[in-house]
Each structure stands twice: as structure tokens, then as C-alpha cells.
Chains A and B, each alone.
Chain A
Amino acid sequence: MNGAAALAAAPFTRLPHALLAAATGAAVVGLLGHGFWSGVGGTPFGAWHYAALLALTVVFARALARCGAFVGDLTVSSIVVTVAALLGLFVFFPVGKSLIAALLDKNGAFAPSLAVERLLAPDIWGAGCLDGSGTHCGVAINSVMLATIVGFGTTLLGLILALAAQRGGQRFSGLYRVMAVLPIVTPPFVIALALVVLFGRTGLITSWLNTLFDIPRTRWIYGLTGVTLAQLLTFTPIAFMILHGALAAVSPSLEEAAQTLRASRARVFRTVTWPLLRPALANSFLLAFVESLADFGNPVVLAGNYEVLSTKIFFAVAGAQHEPGRAAALATVLLIFTLVAFWLQQRWLGKASYVSVSGKGDAGLPAQLPEGLRRGCVGFSMAWIVFTLACYAVILAGGFVKDIGRGDMTPVLSHFADGFAIELRNGWPVFIGSAWDSFLTTVEVAAIAAPLTAVIGLLSAYVITRQQFAGRRTFEFLTMVSFAVPGTVIGVAYIVAFNVPPIELTGGLAILIVCFVFRNMPVGVRAGIAALAQIDKSLDEASSTLRASTWRTLTQVVLPLLKPAIVATLIFSFTHAMTAVSAVIFLATAKYNLATVYIIGRVEAGEYPLAIAYSTVLIVFMLAVLLLVQRFTGSVKIGRRAQAEMVTGH
């Protein structure tokens, strides 16, 4: 609005700004270009470089605005250009570089034929398990099969649960709310651990069945069955939240109208409710599909010989066969799958499901389900919820007994002592437990990353919703792209892109923080968009008529009203950073280890008791953080809206 006045002046007053824009742009390009051209031998960028780049970018943005871009608005221009530059540097550049690594051979030379061979390798696309030859299927086929089964399964289960919650009567409604919280506070492999403890070859239920009914103990839980079960348990709460919100948005008056026209309950459900639910069902399927493809924690514990893309990428990089080219080829395949699914979801359903899930405030009660269906739904839901809670109970109890995986139930505290012992030396507490290093590093990284995520996310949300400028849709799409990139792909990309100068971050703390900030940014954007939709534009307009700049409007009018969204984003980013595993398992080092990485290490060595005890500590810690924040900020709505937005796999 200030810039508009400048635009009205004669065009040649833009010339100095154009020159400034050109100069600073060239400086940024030159600085980066020189760094990359020096390559491995050059000096890595230090804090000074990053500060200089940031300053130059902002000056560039402002000069660009004065030339007329972004409607002449300095703040909008600064935000958009800076965020786009950060995204380009920390999302698109690494992913691009790692995809190109698929085209390089062991020595770094360009080898397109090798790339084709890697991308079309039979261990990716082989269909041996489908055509009856008894061999294993390719890893891509495995992943897609698993994801499809899980997609259908979670959608069906989520629908049953949502129907039971909303239309099955009011009993036990609190349980459903517990279901909503669980996926936030759980590391992704906790369910898999619980299943091994219950159903593994020496598991509790297996032993019980063996003793009572002489059923032989097998390793049936390892493989497709086990991973499917684990993913169903993990992702059903998400499907439940989406479908619950969708059911709530179905206007009851439509159903009432149908009933007054003498349709039976079954007919109402079939002809009115179901078609209105279809988009949400498709949405839920696609989200579960992407989550399953990106899931790393469950397959790494339970998959056994059933290889999926995320674990295969991990072993190609971090295992003993260090082959970055092959890992890049696998990452390309995985990325294509998730991008396609994500694009489908955005194309068909992007707008419909995300806007204002809080219900259209229609008077009237939703129609009751047909009686048979109602009983079935409620009964099944109860059983499912009990099963889910039993898994968590096993984990919470497992830390306190000697070896729950072998049925040894003598109560001990030695596992907590192993991991979390504190000794007093010279009057100072020394954290000698083996788990303290990773735990404190994780909390530190999560605490630093959360506010950065909130800042970037909410600023982006503001310019997306409140400002009109050319390229706004593109900018919105760019901010959401990291939803679609699975964690393992980002992890590999960061290793490939940031372990040589000029941007040499691997092995440090910064790379973990950067990874979390840009993985969780879409959540901040989504939460901001949803919250800003509730704030009337007339407030902004009143502020501008009083001649406040955009920046002043933003900081003094809008941000104070966004407090719930800020808190929700902070909490979500913090907990997600505490529980993330698939990206950071590549980035953690001996010096900066993370809790989830440490736990997976213990699981692989077969040391389940410590892993379970540590998981318990993590869950309890995060529940405590959630409750604490809720106490201090009153009603924090980690309600349905935040859930519907929560997409990323771990």
C-alpha cells in the first residue's frame, strides 16, 4: 500500500531500485556460485556467510518490491522471497542433488546407463511373489501392496470408529478423544515394539496360547502381516479424525429432510450420508497411503524379510553396503509414488477437506444408524480401542519389569537405572545413564526448532491468506511440498547435499534443526491458514486505513490474535521433532544422537527392555509437556483441525 504511491510516480524512479535488486541478486548468486564451484576443497560457509546471504536476500526483496513486484509491499516481498530462498536451499536443492546422485557412478562420474539399470533393477520391480514363482517381490511392489492394504484398512476402521463416536450413542466419548492424542505423543515404532512383546515368538500372548491351547509358536508377526497390523494401529487415529470431522460437517438437515420423506435409516445412510462422505474417504485413503509409504519405524522392527522402500534406502546408506547411487535410485522411486499420491489428493480434495472442519453449525441431530450397523460399529470400535490401549499399556508396563519380551515379569527399575541414572560427583549431578546424551540433545534440538518452525510457517500463512500477489498459488504449493517428501528421502538428500563445502552441516547440530524446521513447516502453514480464516479481514483493513504498514498490522493486530495457532504449532513441532525418526536416522551421530535413533539401535541389537523403558520415558515426557502447556494457555485446541492437517509420516 505504501509502494503503490511509489508506483504512481514516473517509471524511471524505479531505476535505482532495479539496479540495487540486480546488484544484490548478483551478489547472492555470486556468493553461492563461488562456494559450489570451489567444491570439496573450498571453505565451508560459516555464520558470517549465512548472515550475509540473509541480509542480501532481504535487501534484494525490498528492492524488488520497490520496482513493483508484490504490489509494492515491502513486508510481503521480504517474507515471500526469503522463505522461497530458504525452501530452495534446504528442500529443493538437497532433494534435487540426491536425485541426480542416482545418475552418478561410484566415482562421481555421470553414468546414465547405470541410472537406468538402478531404477529398473529387478529387486525394485520384480513381481516374483505375484506370479507364483515363489521368489520375493521387488521392493516397490512390496511397498505399494502394503500401502494399499493399509490405506483401505485404516479408512474402513476410521469410518467404523467415526460412525460409532458420532452416531453410536454418547457412552465412552472420552476414549475417542484419547485416540486423538495418541499419535502425537508416540514414537512411530512403539506399536511395533508392543506387537513383538505380545505376539513375537516368545511374546506374552503367544506363550499364553502355547501353554493353554498348545498352539505352536511361530514368527508370523514378522513380515507383511505384522507391519500391516502395526500400521493399521498407528494410522487409524488419523483416519478417525478426518472422518469424524467429515461426518460432523454433513449437514443433519439433509438427513432429516430425507427422513421426513419417509426414507428408512438404511436408505438415508446409503443415499445421503455416504455420497457426502466419499471425498473424505478418498482423502483418508490417500493420506494413509502416503504415511504407509513413508513409514520407517514400524517396518524396521517388524518387516523381517519383507523389504520396503524406506528400510531398503536406509540399509543402502547406513548399512555395510554403502551405495549412495543405489539409495538415490530407491529414493527417486519412493518420491515419485508419494508425489503422485499427494498430487492426486491436492487435485481432487485439497480444498474440500482442509477448510473449516469445525462444522457448519447446523441445528439438528444427525440421524441414528440402522440398529444392526450401530451395534456392529460400536462393538468393533470398543474392541479396537481396547487393543490399541493394550499395546500402549504393554509399553508403559514393560519398562518396569525385568524382560517383558520373554515373559519375565519380576518388577525391577534397573532398565531406568541403566538409561537414566544420575550420580553426584563433587556435588554436581552427572548424568551417567546411557540414554541421557540422546535425550537431552533431542529436547534441545526440538526446543530450538519449534519456534523457528512457527515463525516461518505463520509468516508464510499470513502472506498466503491475506495478501494478493502474482505467484501466490505457486508459493503456497512450494510450502506444502515437503509434506509429500518422505523422511528417508530427505535424510538421504541432506547427507548427499550437505556433507561437503560450501554448505557443510552433516555431523553437527544445525542440520538436525534445519531438517526439523523444514519438515514441520507445512504444519505451521496449515495451522496459520486455518486460524487466519477465523480472523475477519476488516481488522486488517481498519489497520491499513489508519496508515499502519503491513509489518505493523502483522505484528500488532494479527499475531496477538493467532496465539492458539502459535501454541498449537509450537506443540506439534516440538512433539514431532521428539518422535521423528525416518529423516534423522541418517543425520544423527555419536556426538549428537537422538532418542529415537538410540532406541532403534537397541531394538536391532535385540535389547528390548531398555528400548521399551526409554519409549515410556519419551511418551510420559511428551504427555507432561502437552498437559503443562494446556494448563498455562487455557484451552489449547489440539482438536480436529490440527489433526486433519497432520500429514507427514515420521
Chain B
Amino acid sequence: MKLRAWFAVVALLGAPLSSFAQGELVLYCSVQEEWCRPMVAAFEKATGIKVLMTRKSSGEFYAQIKAEAANPKGDIWWGGTGDPHLQAAEEALTDPYVSPKLDELQDWAVRQARAAKFRTVGIYAGALGYSFNTKELAKRKLPEPKCWADLAKPIYKDDVQVANPNSSGTAYTMLATLVQIMGEQKAFDFMKAMHKNVNQYTKSGAAPARAAATGESLIGITFQHDAVIQAVAGAPVKIVSPCEGTGYEIGSMSIIKGAKNLANARKWYDWALAADGGQAIGSAAKISYQVPSNKKAPVPEQAPKLANIKLIDYDFAKYGSSAERSRLLKKWDDEVSKLPK
């Protein structure tokens, strides 16, 4: 009798899970979850396809897709910095697809797609930088940091937060940017010095912006658009474009090789590149202050203007390559993360 009751319970609960939808899509989402959710909701409403979404940082999804290569569980990987997407493309973990929306995109997005032989495509761009909590700074009477070099100064001990470059594309972009600005040896010396000031290496790339906004950490190294979200919400943060120059990301999207719902994955791909579809959701939800890659998509007015920032000529092909990325990450693990504080 009890068994029957259990089955009834299970059957009742199973009902809402069975959808009235046109199939499924397993989405690996690498932006903030507050952006993933409205994207999923909008897509489900537009197409009726049920989306099963998990959120992880781009480095983590790269590792997961690689681990699942023999039997892929995901269909499409959307968002996250371009370097892990380029590495996955190089290792043929993703499928090539030329979307009809490709000619509506900005040049840098198309270049990203070409570099990866159309295994990936740019969906947004944003500049790297850091933000600090102005109230905390004033309270502790510290000088404002303006350059990368300032972050290694002993006055900011325990005040810097940044993600772990292994899991976070954001932090890896910082690593590669520093290498391109200062040269590899000086960059690693700088990161060793900055290590003493780091209070925590988070897993998620955007978490330090939140920490700076709440005062949990004084300074957080993230993309500038992550900090803009906090500023627009009213947090006392100031965003800094470091004086030596800074790098930028091209957020990307890739279809996973061996996807079980390939047709639906391609539907998402096209919808995500449409100016009135996926490209508009982020700014409408006030969660994305990146520059969208579709030329006709609305650009949020608080988005940091790339033209006004001193950007370096970031070599995506080199620093997205499997060999270089693995080498730099290993070097960081061996030389920086193991140091005492």
C-alpha cells in the first residue's frame, strides 16, 4: 500500500516535468546566472523548447566538455570569455556552424569566428579593469589605485580579490593581458607580489565585483561591465581602466560536438545572435553592460565605451591556443598560487 502511495507521489511530481514543449536543449551558460535566467525564459517563450541550464565559469565548462567528449551531455555553450572557447575549438570539441546572422555582426565577432574556423562566434565584448569600494577607501584613508602596478603595493594587503585563472576566463584574460603588457617574466613577478594582497581567489570571474560593491573586499579585478552592474544598482564603486593599458574579452558561443539536440542548439545559436532576440535580453534586463556583437542591437548607455579605453592589441589566436593557455596556467599554479601570503 505504501509502495503504491509512493508511486502516486512520483507520478504526480513527474507531471510538471513533462513539458508541452518541442523538445529540449541542454545549455551550458557561462555568464552570471541573473543573465542566464532571462535568456532561458525568453527563448522558451519564443520557441517552446524546454531549456535545461547549468551555470559554471568558462574554464570549468571547458574542462567539463573535455571530460564528457566521449559522451557529450551538453548541447550548446553560451557566454564566457573567448579563450576557453578558442581552446575547445582548436581541440575539435565543438562543431562548426555558419549562422545566417553572421553578416549582421561586428568585425571583431566575425574575426573570432574565422579564427576558430567557425567553431565559435563573438557575442559580446568588454574591457578588463578593476573596481574599488569608495566608502571603504575613504574610511581607511588610502590612496586611489590607478594602474596595475598599484595593486602590488603593500598598503593594499588583503584587499584585492580576483578569480582563479584556471576556472575563470576573466582571470585568465588578466593573466594574458599582464603578459602582453609587461612581458612574461615581469608579469609573473608582478603577480607574485600581488598574491600577498589577494584575500581570496574566487571560482567565478564576476564575484570580485560583487565583493567590492558590498565592501567584502576593497578592490575586485573583473571586467568593467561586471562592476557597472553593481554601480547601476547603487553600490559605492569606482571603476578603473588601468593606466598601462588593459585587455578585453570577446564573449563567445559554441555548439558542442556530438550534441544530442543539434537542431535546437542551432536554433538557440541563431536566436542568440539576433538583434531583437538574444542580443537584446541582457541590456533589457539591466544585467549586461557589454557591447553586443550584433550591429543593430541596442548598446546600453552605461556600457564602458571601448573607444575611450586604452586597449592593448590582445592576441586572441595565441592566448586562446591550447598549448599557450595550458603552459601559462601551469606556470601560474606552480609559481604564484603556491606562495605563502
Given A202-B216, A590-B28, A591-B73, also A320-B63 (CB < 8 A): yes
Given contacts A304-B200, A451-B6, A604-B204, contact A443 B28 (CB under 8 A): no
CB of A179 closer than 8 Å to a CB of B? no
Stretch at the interface among A356-364, A429-437, A527-535, A546-554: A429-437
Q: Which of B47-55, B97-105, B107-115, B302-310 contacts A (4 or more CB under 8 A)?
A: B47-55
Q: Is the CB of B54 within 8 A of A444?
A: no
CB proximity of B172 to chain A, nearest CB, Å: 9
Contact mask for chain B residues 221-265; partner A; CB cutoff 8 A; 1 contact, 0 none: 000000000000000000000000000000000000000000000
Bits for B54-82, please: 1 = Cβ < 8 Å to A, else 0. 11110110111011001101100000000
A500 adjacent to B13 (CB under 8 Å): no
Contact A434 B3 (CB under 8 A): no
The distance in angstroms between the C-alpha atoms of A343 and B3, with both chains bound, is 36
Q: Would A321 and B63 be within 8 Å (CB), given that A440-B16, A447-B9 are in contact?
A: yes
**A-side contacts of B341, CB under 8 Å:** 305
- Contact residues in A for B333 (Cβ distance below 8 Å): 321
**Contact residues in A for B13 (Cβ distance below 8 Å):** 440, 443-444, 447
Flag if A451 contacts B2 (CB, 8 Å): yes
Among A443, A507, A607, point to the contact of B71 (Cβ < 8 A): A507
Task: Report Cα–Cα, A570/B5, bound state, in Å.
Answer: 13
> A305-B200, A319-B167 given as contacts; is B214 within 8 A of A406 (CB)?
yes
What distance in Å separates the Cβ of B61 from its nearest Cβ neighbour in chain A?
9
Complex Cα–Cα for A434 and B44 (A): 13
Residues of B within 8 A of A589 (CB): 54, 73
Q: Mark B307-339, 1 if CB is under 8 A from A, else 0.
A: 000000000000000000000000001000010
Chain B residue numbers with a CB within 8 Å of A275 are none
For residue A448, CB closer than 8 A to chain B, the reply is yes
User: In the complex the two chains form, what is the Cα distance from A305 to B202 in whole Å?
Assistant: 10
Cα A553 to Cα B158 with chains together (Å): 69
In the assembled complex, the CB of B284 is this many whole angstroms from the nearest CB of chain A, namely 17
A438 to chain B, nearest CB (A): 10
Most buried by A among B26, B41, B54: B54
Total contacts A-B at CB 8 Å: 128
Report yes or no: A321 in contact with B166, Cβ–Cβ below 8 A.
yes
Residues of B within 8 A of A136 (CB): 338, 340
* Also in contact, A320 and B57, with CB within 8 A (given A451-B6, A507-B71, A590-B73): yes
Q: In the complex, which of the residues A320, A405, A428 contacts B59, with contact meaning CB atoms closer than 8 Å?
A: A320
B200 partner residues in chain A, CB cutoff 8 A: 219, 222, 304-305
A504 near B16 with CB under 8 A, answer no
Q: Is the CB of A590 within 8 A of B26?
A: yes
Assembly CA distance A448 to B13 (angstroms)? 12
CA distance A322 to B61 in the complex (A): 10
Which residues of the partner chain B approach A602 to less than 8 Å between Cβ atoms? 33
A199 to chain B, nearest CB (A): 12
Query: Could you say which of B3, B24, B34, B54 contacts A593, with CB atoms under 8 Å apart?
Result: B54
Q: By the criterion of a CB under 8 Å from any partner CB, how many residues of chain B are at the interface?
A: 57
- Cross-chain contact B73 with A319 (CB below 8 angstroms): no
* CB nearest to B50 among chain A residues: A437
B10 interfacial contact with A, CB 8 Å = yes
Main SS of chain A's interface residues?
loop
Q: Are B54's CB and A590's CB within 8 A?
A: yes
Q: A499 contacts B71, CB within 8 Å?
A: yes
In the assembled complex, how far is the CB of residue B142 from the closest CB belonging to chain A, in whole angstroms? Answer: 14
Determine the chain A residues whose CB is within 8 A of the CB of B17 once the complex forms.
Answer: 437, 440-441, 444
Quick one: which of B137-155 are within 8 Å of A by CB? none
Distance in Å: Cβ of A599 to nearest Cβ of chain B = 12
User: Does A40 count as interface, using CB distance less than 8 angstroms?
Assistant: yes
Is the CB of B296 closer than 8 A to any CB of chain A? Answer: no
The one of B6, B52, B167 in contact with A590, judged by C-beta atoms closer than 8 angstroms, is: B52
CB 8 Å contact bits of B28-51 with A (1 = contact, 0 = none): 100011100100010000000000
* Contact bitstring A576-604, B, C-beta under 8 A = 1, else 0: 00000000000001110100000001101
- Closest chain B residue to A504 by CB distance? B71
Contact of A322 among B10, B56, B63, B164 (CB under 8 A): B63
CB atoms of B57 and A434 under 8 A apart: no
Residues of A with C-beta under 8 A to B214: 201-202, 405-406
- Please name all residues of chain B whose beta carbon is closer than 8 Å to the beta carbon of A128 when the two chains form the complex: 340
B206 (CB) vs chain A CBs: closest residue: A605
Are A605 and B6 in contact, CB atoms less than 8 angstroms apart? no
Q: A504 vs B73: C-alpha distance in the bound complex, in angstroms?
A: 13
Q: Chain A residues with Cβ under 8 A from B85's Cβ?
A: none
The chain A residue sitting closest to B198, CB to CB, is A305
B273 CB-CB contact with A under 8 Å:
no
Query: Within 8 Å of chain A (Cβ to Cβ): is B210?
Result: yes
Residue of A nearest to B210 (CB): A606
Contact between B207 and A318, CB atoms less than 8 A apart: no
With known contacts A320-B63, A500-B70, A591–B52 Cβ distance under 8 A: yes
Q: Using a CB-CB cutoff of 8 Å, which residues 4-20 of chain B contact chain A?
A: 6, 9-10, 13-14, 16-17, 20
Asked if B215 is an interface residue, CB under 8 A from chain A, the answer is: yes
Q: Give B339's nearest chain A residue, CB to CB.
A: A135
Q: Contact check, B167 vs A320: say whether CB atoms are below 8 A apart.
A: yes
Per-residue 0/1 for B289-306: is the Cβ within 8 Å of any A Cβ (1 yes, 0 no)?
000000000000000000
B75 nearest CB neighbor, chain A only: A590
List chain A residues, Cβ under 8 A from B211. Answer: 606
A322 contacts B66, C-beta separation under 8 Å: yes
With A201-B216, A443-B13 already in contact, the answer to whether A590 and B74 are too (CB < 8 A) is yes
Task: Tell whether, in the assembled complex, residue A444 and residue B203 are in contact, meaning their CB atoms are under 8 Å apart.
Answer: no
* Nearest-Cβ distance from residue B194 to partner chain A, whole angstroms: 15
Residues of chain B lying within 8 A (CB to CB) of residue A570: 2
Complex interface: chain B residues within 8 A of A304 (CB): 200
Where the two chains meet, the residues of A that have a C-beta atom closer than 8 Å to any C-beta of B are 40, 123, 128, 133-136, 200-202, 217, 219, 222, 304-305, 318-322, 405-406, 418, 426, 428-432, 434, 436-437, 440-441, 443-444, 447-448, 450-451, 499-500, 504, 506-507, 570, 589-591, 593, 601-602, 604-607
Closest 5 CB pairs of A and B: A320-B59, A320-B166, A322-B63, A590-B54, A320-B167
A–B complex contacts, Cβ < 8 Å, 17 sampled: A123-B338, A202-B215, A318-B64, A319-B167, A320-B62, A321-B166, A321-B333, A406-B214, A430-B16, A432-B41, A434-B37, A444-B13, A451-B3, A499-B71, A504-B71, A604-B207, A605-B33
Other A-B contacts than A590-B28, A601-B55, 4 sampled, CB-CB below 8 A, are: A437-B52, A448-B6, A590-B26, A590-B53
